[in-house]
Amino acid sequence: MIKVNKLYHSYSNDENYAVNNVSFEVKEGEIFGFLGPSGAGKSTTQNILTGLLQLQKGDVEVAGYDVKQIKNKMFNKIGMSFEQSNVYSKMSGLENLEFYRKLFDVETRNPMDLIKMVGLDGKENIKAGKYSKGMKHRLTFARSMINNPEIWFLDEPTTGLDPSIASEIKDIIKEENKKGVTIFLTTHNMYIADELCDRVAFIVDGKIRLIDSPKELKLKYGEKLVDVEYLRNGELIKESFSTVVEEEKSKLIQVIKENDLRTMHTKEATLEEIFIKVTGRGLV
């Protein structure tokens, strides 16, 4: 659904590239996470894919359209949820969606259904300018679904939302993905990426350092250990056992059999730890 080949972009029109030789593909029905710290080139790449920035160098294909010669029809197939809410503040939530649905040539969703989906029902007739930051964000998110997009670009979709709303938004993303929507997720939140993405790309200083599935990355970079806490003769003991060394595996089984087990965790690396290990950089 998305093919990017040797993409470069410079804001100063010189060789100081904000995006430097970036190549990747996103398959149909996939949730692809684009992860990196601020200024890494995530937004620049996403803006090029959505036509907000003009393509300077490289080949980009989105939903079968060449982004070099962007056509309005392409936007019937894509949806874009911005990190910064950008709705008409003098129009109500419902009026915002009613207006945007008229700008597409394809069958659109019922605005009230979307309003309900993001939990804004009952507030649909209030001017968006009077919405809280989180409500505006949800309205922006809802608007990005109005045209039933085949490819859905999500820029920090849960930033600034309280945990329960963020959880609902994640459920909506999963639900849409189940229907076959391809999702390009830009975020610096590794937990969301870990939970939602089929594959992730780490981008730093305009260059992609790694592309893989979170599961594979954890296997590759995580330590193969189990941390155990158990009581022996009234004393709490903490021990770590390897899950690959036979002798330690036997010990672990023995500990489980003979003692009162309190906690037991496999010691997986988080995506954030892997990111730091791979790129040598934090995510802020």
Binding site for other proteins (CB under 8 A): 47, 50-54, 72-73, 75-76, 78-80, 82, 84-91, 99-100, 102-106, 140, 143, 147
Closest Cα to residue 138, out of 121, 151, 120, 153? 120
Closest of 231, 223, 220 to residue 248, by C-alpha: 223
Pick 66 or 272: Cβ nearer other proteins:
66
In angstroms, give the least distance from the CB of 92 to other proteins. Answer: 11
Go through 1-18 and write b for each residue having 16 or more CB atoms within 10 A of its CB, e for each that does not: bbebeebbbbeeeeeebb
Q: Which is nearer to other proteins, 99 or 212 (CB)?
A: 99
Chain-centre distance of CA 50, in angstroms? 16
Tell me whether residue 24 or residue 99 sits nearer to other proteins (CB atom).
99
- Of 49, 131, 133, nearest to 83 (Cα)? 133
Tell me if residue 84 falls in helix, strand or coil: coil
Q: Please say which residue, 89 or 167, places its beta carbon nearer to other proteins.
A: 89
- Shortest Cβ 61–other proteins spacing (Å): 17
Per DSSP, what are the bridge partners of residue 232? 235
Tell me how far, at minimum, the Cβ of 49 lies from other proteins, in Å: 10
Nearest distance from C-beta of residue 12 to other proteins, angstroms: 14
Cβ-based nearer residue to other proteins, 91 or 225: 91
Nearest CA to 157 among 108, 84, 89, 94? 84
Q: CB 56 → other proteins: shortest distance, Å?
A: 11
